[in-house]
Amino acid sequence: MNADLHCHSCHSDGLLSPVELARRAHANGVNLWALTDHDNLGGLAEARAEAVRLGLDFVDGVEISVTWMDMTIHVVGLAIDPRHAPLSEGLAQVRSGRDARALRMAEALELLGVRDAYQNALRLAGNPSLVGRSHFARVLVEQGYAADVHAVFRSYLVRGRPGYVEHRWTSLACAVQWIRGAGGVAVIAHPGRYRLSGDQMRRLLAEFQAAGGEAIEVVSGSHGEPEMRAFARMAREFGFYASRASDFHAPDESPVDLGRGAPLPDGLTAVWHAPALRFASEGHPA
Ligand code: AMP
Ligand code: MN
Ligand code: MN
Ligand code: MN
């Protein structure tokens, strides 16, 4: 099984269209694929149609921005029904704060000398309601502030660095509830990215589980071997399903291409064995 259950199209901060992603996933040997754009479902119909054409099993997904203990955490929803109103209404609410945040980020960046930060980020965004830090990072690269987006995120746009602005997303409980209400499985995205202590991580995972969360990404484009081992252990400890995900955004930008991550370590239950995903490729009943 070559599953890749987390990636981004131009409907959020990826550079490829859903059709291009489906073709790339298929060409790379993926046989179970999810599109998980940030805070919106706009690319799913197009992704599913192309996946069906290619004979590639497809799962509707989303990656929801959450604020937990003053930190930003991402929760992926897999096998969600995009027509579930509380989910789409909840996501609309999450997106509504994004634009105000983008304007505040642009102001902060212009103080550094970045030219027309908001207009440039908007020009690079495929979806005007989803301007985010990746778009600003690409503007900073264009204007010579850093060599690539990874270098941008080392010096800018993160807490304690220029261009960062505080923002409150939705709660962990709301995100999980929307996903479960839509028939999906909630997954903690790239847990290795949060730089939490062991105790803090266990607290996050316990709260997530109590809210109805069922899975964590063990294999992620943001994880090296040590993170994979550590989160495989935590998945076993909590009894979470394990997910495998590239978090692909763009060629020449993402460290791991679609379907090219490591296999899941042994002794885990893969999230594609969750009942919601076993039936996902058959689509939701009309
Ligand atoms: P936002 O939701 O607007 O805060 O943007 C978050 C996005 O920024 C993530 O989904 C990544 O695509 C990107 N990002 C955050 N941190 C990094 C990093 N260290 N390196 C590369 N991209 C990053
Ligand atoms: Mn992103
Ligand atoms: Mn993420
Ligand atoms: Mn992502």
pLDDT in tens, 164-215: 999 999 999 999 999 999 999 999 999 999 999 999 999 999 999 999 999 9
Give the distance (Å) from ligand 2 centre to CA of residue 37: 8
Q: How far apart are CA 242 and CA 217, in angstroms?
A: 6
CB 88 within 8 A of CB 41: yes
Q: How far apart are CA 255 and CA 245, in angstroms?
A: 12
Q: Name the residue with the closest Cα to ligand 1, atom 6.
A: 133
Confidence of residue 282 (pLDDT cuts 50, 70, 90): low
State phi, psi for 245 to the nearest 5 degrees: -155, 135
Give the distance (Å) from ligand 3 centre to CA of residue 73: 8
Among 129, 153, 165, name the best residue to mutate to test ligand 1's pocket (greatest count of ligand atoms within 8 A of Cβ): 153
Q: How far apart are CA 9 and CA 22, in angstroms?
A: 10
> What domains does the chain contain, in order, with CATH numbers?
3-95+168-281 (3.20.20.140), 98-157 (1.10.150.650)
CB 275 within 8 A of CB 217: no
pLDDT in tens, 61-87: 999 999 999 999 999 999 999 999 999
Whole-angstrom distance between the N-terminal and C-terminal Cα of the chain? 28
85-88 contact pairs (CB < 8 A, 24+):
86/177, 86/178, 86/181, 86/182, 87/41, 87/62, 87/178, 87/179, 87/181, 87/182, 88/41
Give the distance (Å) from ligand 3 centre to CA of residue 6: 9
